[in-house]
Chain A
Amino acid sequence: MMKAFETFRGVVMPLDRANVDTDAIIPKQFLKSIQRTGFGPNLFDEWRYLDHGEPGQDCSNRPLNPDFVLNDPRYAKAEILLTRHNFGCGSSREHAPWALDGYGFRVLIAPSFADIFRQNTIKNGLLPIVLDEQTVDALFALAGGETALEIEVDLEAQQLRPSSGEPIAFEIDAFHRHCLLNGLDDIGLTLERADEIAAYEQRRQQQAPWLFAS
């Protein structure tokens, strides 16, 4: 069951890179897990630590990369990730949103997201927000200051309210908004349509019987 998305105020971590791929978000060795949880400590593993990470390792004593933004004390409690275009490109691994969620991110802001990744984030109750390049540039400027930028995220009103600057409106697919706000289990929703699915199958089997041969 997905958790419902409620208005909150969070710290923004700026990750100033375009085309961040899902291999970078969660490297392949952690995909061997058969669980849905536990990926947070390995989020951005190769950028975040100076050593090589392996699954099952205690990450609390690993050497941190001081140059990686996630390790900057200003963003220690970040819940909003601000990044550049095509975030989440590459592999379809849902482990990427699981890792972001496990770390504590709840909202992602970028000029664009890769399609499969965006779909996967919504399935996990994370909110991907697309803003134009200019607005993203402006947020990067604010987020890089000495004090971390905070934003209040209001999905109901489709509005971002930064701690400095004007409120920013954002667009989101109506169905996605509905699912996020209500924490809906969409498998349950689809199963309510079982009769319509059965009717489709019957119709389709007449047209294309080979699709149902087994």
Chain B
Amino acid sequence: MIMDDYKFLFKVVLVGNAGVGKTCLVRRFTQGLFPPGQGATIGVDFMIKTVDVGSEKVKLQIWDTAGQERFRSITQSYYRSAHALILVYDISCQPTFDCLPDWLREIEEYASSKVLRVLVGNKIDREDREIPTVVGEEFAERHNMYFLETSAKESDNVERLFMQIAEDLMKQARSRDLPRYDSNTTTIDGKTSTISDFSCCSK
């Protein structure tokens, strides 16, 4: 097993309506690609990118919805243990903005109350904007969220979005204000070394 060279690992999850560009944001950030190749998203669970915050290496594990948002059927377990949550809408599509309260309800129900929440208006490269920046800003402020407008296509603010999240989570980690996911749990990865307390059956 390769020892990873990072100090912090944060789980970032994306939510929002289908088609707002969640996968594009992730692929743009982690691979610098747009549009993402169609076939390859099958089997992709989460993407990983290690970034430098100050002198520290921070590993971001970025989870996508796997299409379960299409019929409002995201598993609750998707939200568990998330450190940051990115709620995405499409600035050229009013209904994706109108659904935000529904998403917030779901987030409040299943995510940790301390999760870092970021509202993202994506597709600012488009000419047919329907949601003015200030409307997004106000919504974010009202719900105590960070706000950023991005274009995965033009790579506007994408790096900044994830770097901001990494920096903020680092700050929280330093002040011990992260959602507390108790480290005493067992992660089953099959690599766990066996404590041989009772080796009777193997004689």
The finding on whether chains A and B are genuine partners in a shared complex, rather than unrelated, reads no
